Chain A
């Protein structure tokens, strides 16, 4: 009745299985894998090469900032590792379905017994290889997290890796249902409806919220930070190219969550300076009504409701239809770039 004790010595990891448990099935193993491996290698190589040289450079979020480049690079590296794994399983499954189907006329009878129940070598190498791959992915991910200072992700109020740049533009992102506004403390604390950034500059985003949790997602510049009420959440990136990018809310924040988006711009440094100084002057009349610049704002500072932060009355601070309804997206960008900011306090 050795079948009954099949589990005990043979399959134990580390134990040297006696006799039959170790012997590979006669004739079979190398034969099948000699057919599978070339197919797999060819497919994996083709897939990886096509990805790296053809698809990879176009993978979102693109290359408008250091964190975007980092995210794209990471995605592509993970893809290079993942594609061979996926293909290995698929090639094996396809080969198995084709070769070992019962409907085949010359299908041999399968062999049970201890050899079919466990194989120390196969199990050991499976576990070893997956462990190495996983640990490599972890080390890679951690390094990538440090190298571009947080990779554009949320660092909380106390970032542990800061960029070493001397000149860093601080931009405060204030989220509320259902729009983002932006404050520039270095330009008199002015507030705008559109995010404008200078090129080739480290930006420190300080993200906070006036009501519920939002998420500030500047897509093409590879930044995503949750906006929490009463919390200053920080992320860094360095812009690399001029152009337009999309800002979306990516944390469900109520019924108009889908309409909570706008477009930002990266301008050349001189164009940004010009824009910032003129806007600061133009905004001065509004800025004096704003609460003084702070890392977070109490909801009562939100002059739109004037009441407690919890929306008990059912009135929303903004009419989203008015802002987003039928306005074509492109027109919205142009008009809001030149429009004046909404004062957010009534005191």
Chain B
């Protein structure tokens, strides 16, 4: 057992580079976003050329513009060029030839445009990137609702429409899988577990730049003609589709690699980098949710990787993994995709559970109710999420014996999900609720997610599923869980942690306007769509029954106003951070969380000393205040004498928590 009590100086992954060192590259040779973009374009051109060369003369290649091999290799080399250009491959390549790398870390503003290894910089980069993803997908949603204003008159053609639908779905799924784990996970997890860094800073940065590459790759689908399959990419439509499909497959391939890396990094960090005394039973519920999410990320995403590789081989070689007519199976894609896809759905739900459970005690001034049940619920949802995927195939002609089984597992998952309601409702019982903006989002989460969850039970019932499957009812159901659940929780988290991250508070009045617009118009958009689905409108159609126009128009107008609510958020953000910044108090919400016990914004070393955690962060309204951690454990031996710290240390030993900074500071060769 080692307890780290050494001071911060000289420890940790990132040190401000001493200026004037010869080892640092001159500015004009350094790698940043511009070099990445240049090499990405060059990589695309190179790959496109190679693809055309190796496939020229093959019978299945019609024209150069429709040559899948050229497009796929172009996109893949483009991604490699992007990673080379940003500097993600410097370290592995240098080690290959037995050299050391040159320190690249900067302290000026340009660090945000570079391959930064600082978890706080990566967190902020992620935040901007997920918002870019989210708003891009949101604009596409506006286009979808515009087309659906009229049942038969078309504002955009069916080809463009189906591309936009697929693009919207894919972008939103990519975004949502990293929405919380990316920005909040990378920024907050080390702070919440009393560490100075993530376990693998290079992997953390690489996962971000892969995520970013995925954004560019999926956007190339639009100029390449789009893909007609929606975000699910069903074969053999996938095999039949034009070259836009390659962007989908390469995009998901790249994103899935980023997800695997991000997941492993979080798992390693949470298991190994917890401060002394931070036993499993004292960990924030948000850390629990990120841990379970990361397990799902790391173990479910490889299935998607494999499915995308098989799809790409089908389209280029061409093999026939998914073609029934040549001995493959279209069910293979459906099973592989949903074996990833259903854990993915919980990747997009669990972090939301974590955020609301983390925030409620702060604004209720009460401990989190039934903490253990809550953590067990997260674990239970994570485990069960692997056993429900075939409910997406209820009407596909799977073995009919399987349907009751998957009906059972799907309905069982509502038990651990119910635990999340238990801890929330138990926490607000006889509390003293402050309706700050983050609290409003938490309460709205419970309102929305309840509807999303209950409608899921309807869908899991096979006889009812016959009517609802593939219709707008399903669409509303998962928008209620992802947008109504995860995204509401995410914005709650953004309002809550902005004072921590940026040291400035977002404007409360504008925040309230944002919340109420988002809450009201979200419900007015998606509740009518349940009815639209019941009244026989299938998903992804560009024309529909005339009798459904009123409901559709109502949803469309509400959707515009829902979109406008995010404009309010952007205005609020820009106003409160740059135009009229108000310095936030160090702990504006009076939170017990470990992340609030250091300065806001945190110094580069996070904690002056690695704290010794003494209790979980939910000791609110107790007669004798319980400190969450000893932040200056110089008197550690003294504290150890009174039994508390001894218990903490024993917990650290048995709970598997190793020390944070210095033992890890044996430096895995970090720059």
* Chain A residues at the B interface, C-beta cutoff of 8 Å: 1, 3-8, 11-13, 25, 28, 32, 59-61, 67, 70-71, 74-75, 78, 82, 85-86, 89-90, 92-93, 96-97, 100-103, 107-113, 116-119, 122-123, 126-127, 130-131, 134-135, 137-138, 140-142, 144-145, 148, 150-161, 211-213, 215, 217, 219, 222-226, 228-231, 233, 246, 248-259, 298-299, 309-312
A211–B397 touching, CB < 8 Å: no
* Residue contact B396 to A116, C-beta cutoff 8 Å: no
- B451 interfacial by beta-carbon distance below 8 Å: yes
Q: A60-B536, A89-B446, A141-B462 are in contact. Are A154 and B397 (CB under 8 A)?
A: yes
B615–A3 CB distance below 8 A: yes
Separation of A70 and B622 alpha carbons in the complex (Å): 55
**Least distance between A310 CB and chain B CB atoms (Å):** 6
Interface mask (B232-270 → A, CB under 8 Å = 1, otherwise 0): 101011011000000000000000000000000000000
Interface check B508, CB cutoff 8 A: no
Interface 1/0 per residue, B589-633 and A, CB below 8 Å: 000000000000000000000000011101111111010000000
User: Are B373 and A256 in contact (CB-based, < 8 A)?
Assistant: no
Q: Which residues does chain B contribute within 8 Å of A61, judged by CB atoms?
A: 467, 536
Sampled A-B contacts (9; CB under 8 Å): A3-B624, A4-B644, A108-B432, A110-B620, A130-B418, A160-B400, A224-B466, A228-B324, A246-B536
| B571 contacts A by Cβ under 8 Å | no
Taking A113-B623, A116-B621, A256-B158 as known contacts, 17 extra A-B pairs with beta carbons closer than 8 A to each other, sorted by chain A number, are A71-B464, A100-B433, A110-B366, A111-B430, A116-B367, A122-B426, A138-B411, A153-B395, A161-B400, A213-B237, A213-B330, A231-B324, A250-B469, A252-B230, A255-B159, A257-B541, A310-B239
A-B CB proximity, top 10 nearest: A258-B541, A250-B470, A151-B463, A233-B397, A112-B621, A230-B324, A112-B622, A212-B237, A250-B538, A258-B542
State A97–B429 Cα separation when bound (angstroms): 10
Chain A residues, CB < 8 A from B230: 252
The answer for the CA separation of A3 and B644 in the assembled complex, in Å, is 11
Q: Which of A110, A122, A251 contacts B430 (CB 8 A)?
A: A110
Contacting residues, chain B, for A312 (C-beta < 8 A): 60, 62
Q: How many contacts A-B (CB < 8 Å)?
A: 327
A100–B431 CB distance below 8 A: yes
Chain A positions within 8 Å of B419 at CB level:
126-127
Known pairs A142-B404, A156-B398; A102 contacts B432 (CB<8 A): yes
Chain A residue numbers with a CB within 8 Å of B397 are 154-157, 225-226, 228, 231, 233
Residues of B within 8 A of A142 (CB): 404, 407
B62 touches A118 (CB 8 A): no
List residues of chain B with CB under 8 Å of any chain A CB. 60, 62, 158-159, 161-162, 228-230, 232, 234, 236-237, 239-240, 281, 323-325, 330-331, 364-373, 394-401, 403-404, 407-408, 411-412, 414-415, 418-419, 421-422, 425-426, 428-435, 443, 446-447, 450-451, 454, 457-458, 460-467, 469-471, 534-536, 538-545, 614-616, 618-624, 626, 643-644, 647
A70 touching B536 in the complex, CB below 8 Å, given contacts A112-B366, A213-B236, A230-B325: no
List, in ascending order, chain A residues with CB within 8 A of B369's CB: 116-119
Q: Is the CB of A151 within 8 A of B462?
A: yes
Write the chain A residue with the least CB distance to B318. A310
A118 to B618, CA, bound (A): 12
CA distance A152 to B395 in the complex (A): 9
B394 surroundings in chain A (CB, below 8 A) = 153-154
Chain A hits for B323, CB < 8 A:
310
| Selected contact of A134 from candidates B372, B411, B446, B463, CB within 8 Å | B411
Partner of B371, one of A5, A118, A213: A118
The answer to whether B429 touches A127 (Cβ under 8 A) is no
Contact B534 A86, beta carbon cutoff 8 Å: no
User: How far is the CB of B243 from the nearest CB of chain A, in Å?
Assistant: 12
Most buried by B among A67, A152, A153, A311: A153
Chain A residues within 8 Å of B450, by CB: 86, 89-90
* A126 touching B463, Cβ below 8 Å: no
B residues less than 8 Å from A255 (CB atoms): 158-159, 161-162, 228
B400 A159 Cβ-Cβ under 8 A:
yes
In the complex, what distance in Å separates the CA atom of A103 from the CA atom of B439?
14
Nearest A-chain residue to B533, judged by Cβ = A60
Given contacts A134-B414, A212-B234, contact A4 B647 (CB under 8 A): yes
The answer on a CB contact under 8 Å between B538 and A3 is no
Q: Is A310 a contact of B236 with CB atoms below 8 Å?
A: yes
State which of A75, A85, A135, A152 has its C-beta within 8 Å of the C-beta of B458.
A75
User: Are A90 and B447 CB-contacts (below 8 A) given A212-B237, A215-B395, A252-B539?
Assistant: yes
Q: Which residues of B contact A110 (CB under 8 A)?
A: 364-366, 430-432, 620-621
Which residues of chain B are within 8 angstroms of A71 by Cβ–Cβ distance? 463-464, 466-467
Chain B proximity of A157: nearest CB distance (Å):
7
Please state if A67 and B461 are interface contacts (CB–CB under 8 Å): no
* Minimum C-beta distance from B436 to chain A (A): 10
Select from chain A the residue with minimum beta-carbon distance to B234.
A213
Task: Please determine whether B466 and A151 come into contact, CB atoms closer than 8 angstroms.
Answer: yes
Known A118-B369, A141-B462, A230-B325: A75·B60 in contact at CB below 8 Å: no
A12 CB contacts on chain B under 8 angstroms: 372
What residues of B have a CB within 8 angstroms of the CB of A145 in the complex? 403-404, 407, 462-463
Chain A residues whose C-beta falls within 8 Å of the C-beta of B370 in the assembled complex: 11, 117-119, 122-123
Residues of the B chain whose Cβ atoms lie less than 8 Å from the Cβ of A233:
396-397
Query: B466 contacts which of A108, A111, A223, A248 (Cβ < 8 Å)?
Result: A223
Docked complex Cα distance between A151 and B620 (Å): 53
Is the pair B535, A249 in contact by a Cβ cutoff of 8 Å?
A: no
Contact B538 A249 (CB under 8 A): yes
Q: Are A78 and B458 in contact (CB under 8 A)?
A: yes
Q: Which residues of B contact A101 (CB under 8 A)?
A: 432-433, 435
Nearest Cβ on chain B to A152's Cβ, whole angstroms: 5
Q: What residues on B are CB-neighbors of A97 within 8 Å?
A: 433, 435, 443
Q: Is there an interface contact between B422 and A222, defined as CB atoms closer than 8 Å?
A: no
Please determine whether B467 and A130 come into contact, CB atoms closer than 8 angstroms. Answer: no
* Chain A residues whose CB sits within 8 angstroms of the CB of B324 once the complex forms: 228-231
